Amino acid sequence: MRLADSHCHLFFDEIYQELDEKLRLARLADVQYLLSVSTDFGTIERNLEIATKYNGVCCSAGVHPLHSDEIPADRSVSEFLSHDKVVAIGEVGLDYHYGDSPSKSKQISVFEEMLSFSEETDLPYIFHARECFPDVFDVISRFRHVKSGVFHCYTGSMEDAKRIIDDGFYISFSGVVTFSKSHDLREIAKYVPSDKILIETDCPYLAPVPYRGKSNEPAYVSLVADCLAKTREVPVEEIAEITTTNFFNLFPKARFLLEENDEK
């Protein structure tokens, strides 16, 4: 069995300082492929260092909406998009959970800048959307070059999930789907078509049951797979196969990871 953690943050110190051990434990849990997602310019650079050093790891380049007001005047995410290890643009989007900081207008402006890169690259997008789906859908609809992407750590409604699928995007589930009160989310996990579903940890956040409240790590994506298998009433091996296949379909530039894995 092979699993892909489609969204983790290996750059955080609590993981980065023990990265050899965290990746060893991931391999023991059948997690062979990892996408370490960036949130600002500093994390892009650390992720490139990690992805260059470790087999089975790739990364993204993007600015998280909560970092929208931290973009250096003389830098652009576009400078990283041709790097071999950068397989996606993200995470990008909108987050209204914390009120007006950064402002909605600033977040939308930066989101539009990130989406404008679709005119010069075929890289897929990793979307962050929290309490803002109408605005996210509106902004994306104005960029016709955006052809592929995933709404990560999905916690939205069934209605929004249907819109995402109808628009051709993927949906990724994190440890939140394992929480006891996530009944509605598990119903959505049943609904998402097999060719549009992904799994992730979003580590070090959102550790699944039975580690809820503790630091998350890539190995725990296997628990998300177990939950989806029970929810969809299929063998966990089937969840592993479809989500890993979807990982490479969505992020085709990551196919070099298959070759790296074969070299081990």
How many whole angstroms separate alpha carbon 5 and alpha carbon 16? 16
Long-range contacts for 11-20 (Cβ within 8 Å, ≥24 apart)? 11/36, 11/38, 11/43, 11/46, 11/47, 11/50, 12/203, 12/204, 14/204, 14/215, 15/203, 15/204, 15/215, 15/217, 16/46, 16/50, 19/50, 19/54
Q: What does each C-alpha distance from 16 to 67, 114, 133, 242 come to in angstroms?
A: 21, 27, 32, 29
Tell whether the torsion through CA atoms of 190, 170, 261 and 255 is positive or negative. Answer: positive
How many whole angstroms separate alpha carbon 103 and alpha carbon 100? 5
Chain position carrying tokens 């989310």: 185
pLDDT of residue 259: 75
Instruction: Specify burial of residue 261 (Cβ count, 10 A radius: 0-12, 13-18, 19+).
Output: middle
pLDDT of residue 60: 98
Q: Nearest CA to 35 among 200, 147, 165?
A: 200
Residues of the chain with pLDDT under 70: 262-264
pLDDT of residue 73: 87
Structure tokens at 75: 């830098």
- At position 217, the amino acid (one-letter code) is E
Summarize pLDDT for 109-161 with one digit per residue, the tens. Answer: 999 999 999 999 999 999 999 999 999 999 999 999 999 999 999 999 999 99
Looking at residue 64, the DSSP 8-state letter turns out to be -
Decide if domain 3-262 falls under CATH 3.20.20.140: yes
Chain CA centroid to CA 48, Å: 16
Question: What pTM did the predictor assign?
Answer: 0.96
Is the Cβ–Cβ distance between 186 and 193 less than 8 Å?
no
How far the first Cα of the chain sits from its last, in Å, is 16
pLDDT of residue 78: 95
pLDDT of residue 100: 72
| Domains of the chain, residue spans | 3-262
